[in-house]
A and B are shown apart, each in its own frame.
Chain A
């Protein structure tokens, strides 16, 4: 970088590179091919207390640790699984691949699960990406759009003859998460402050939902998985399609009518669906 390059845009791009260099400012400086004579001291005023590089390093440290702390808070179970050192290294790599782009730091971890899905640590912890997806789903549910939930009073106000065509759509705060591992048990153990253990391999769907601003989650029953996936697809699904899905997935010994009744009562109580548009 030469003096004519001290225009604001180049300066900001230069400091962005230094602050986000994964191994620190010294490494970032070493990568710069066109530093002016005098190096960083030509750009940043140092003194006998701190060199120019040490001053920039304060920002580099702040950048990394601020986001690290946010991700630790957002993904406590993933942190518990991999341990602090691995998590630190994961975040270092994550910030290289997925640097924050949104104004709110809340979104800093939005791609963490995608990053984990392609990370070599998946060999050791193959459930890790799913676990992070579940953790992220609870955050997304917390901040999801408000919408009036379909409840039993409203269902009763609709003529039964209209029910089959009634369009059911999951509430914006309802997030189904599927996994081939019992990550629900792992997350529950971490939430309860208990020791976690390697999850069993078993297909599972976890329903994250929000009622009265409180986020909760539970494992879906076998008979409700397809039904809820249908209702969470774009456009939702007709009541009749949802009932058919339940009937299809029900066990041979189930009383299907009673099962549909019970599942619907639970869904309405938990606020899983939005009120249908007129």
Chain B
């Protein structure tokens, strides 16, 4: 796959309930919105009315939390049918979900559990991603999750695991920069090494979000502004991977829409700076 198979959307934010009225009333400037798929897998009513209206004015992408692509349960066909129906309704630029498992035995933990970084998990998960892509009739993106535990029998690093799955499934990557930062702290690795290992052609989207510092670990809470260290890592990712559609996530203690707009604008500025620096370095090398 090539990154250019997907549109470059610019800088967006997650569509969240406290902002519905403002977005619908004033259609503020925003490049695009990411919608949580499950919030709109309902029969009808206000949620679908809102997302239809938003879609009429903005590009959207669908981001899921319950595909459970790494679970050993059979793929949930009912969920996939609903997801496909929503995709036909919204015509999103792409569909993404997390590289994780969310339940087993027909039960759902409503959390994003990490997978062991093993060949078995690579094969298992990549096969399921291919099945999902065949069903949806499009490539999907998988996102690296934040995690608080690693499995002792993992044989691959997290970045090797992600790259191997994306390669074997021939899917895109939604690279969450905050999750890399959180995991680098929680599991003691070099975040830049992670980014260096990402295949540029597969990275279609970045996520930026805030986290909480619990002393002995960082918790991916999406309830804070993007931390300075994560902004720096974002600039590094832009220098390594180029311009990538970028989204600000904020799911708890949600501030005024203007705060999210400002964060998206900051991402735009930082991307421009990083790309400019990259061009300067290239010119120096040529000289």
Interface on A for B, CB 8 Å cutoff?
6-9, 11-13, 15-16, 19-20, 41-45, 47, 49-50, 52, 55-56, 58-59, 62-63, 66-67, 99-106, 108, 141-147, 172-173, 210, 213-214
Contacts and interface: CB of A to CB of B under 8 A. Distances in A.
Given A6-B153, A50-B216, A213-B49, A101 B106 contact: yes
B152 interface: yes
Nearest to B216: A49
B48 interface: yes
Contact of B109 (A63, A102, A144): A63
Contacts of B164: none
Nearest to B149: A55
B153 to A, nearest CB: 6
A99 B105 CA distance: 11
Nearest to A20: B109
Interface in B88-119: 101, 103-111, 113, 115-116
Contact of A11 (B38, B45, B105, B116): B116
A100 B110 contact: yes
Contact of B111 (A49, A62, A104, A144): A62
A103 B38 contact: yes
Contacts of A47: 188
Contacts of B124: 8
A106 B42 contact: yes
The 3 closest A-B pairs by CB, nearest first: A146-B44, A103-B66, A145-B43
Interface of B: 38-39, 41-49, 66, 70-72, 76, 79, 101, 103-111, 113, 115-116, 120-121, 124, 148-153, 187-188, 216-217, 219
A104 B109 CA distance: 11
A1 B50 CA distance: 49
B66 A104 contact: yes
A172 to B, nearest CB: 7
Contacts of B38: 103-106
Given A44-B150, A66-B110, 12 more contacts: A8-B115, A8-B121, A9-B72, A11-B116, A12-B71, A16-B104, A41-B152, A49-B216, A50-B216, A99-B107, A103-B76, A143-B44
A63 B150 CA distance: 18
Given A15-B113, A59-B113, A142 B216 contact: no
B213 to A, nearest CB: 13
B217 A146 contact: no
A27 B183 CA distance: 27
B15 to A, nearest CB: 16
A100 B107 contact: yes
A27 to B, nearest CB: 17
Contacts of B111: 19, 59, 62-63, 66
B25 to A, nearest CB: 15
Contacts of A55: 148-149, 217
A183 B6 CA distance: 53
30 contacts: A7-B120, A8-B70, A8-B72, A8-B124, A9-B104, A11-B116, A12-B71, A12-B113, A19-B111, A42-B152, A44-B150, A44-B151, A45-B150, A45-B152, A47-B188, A49-B216, A52-B149, A56-B149, A58-B148, A58-B217, A59-B109, A63-B110, A99-B107, A101-B107, A102-B108, A103-B38, A142-B45, A143-B42, A144-B45, A146-B45
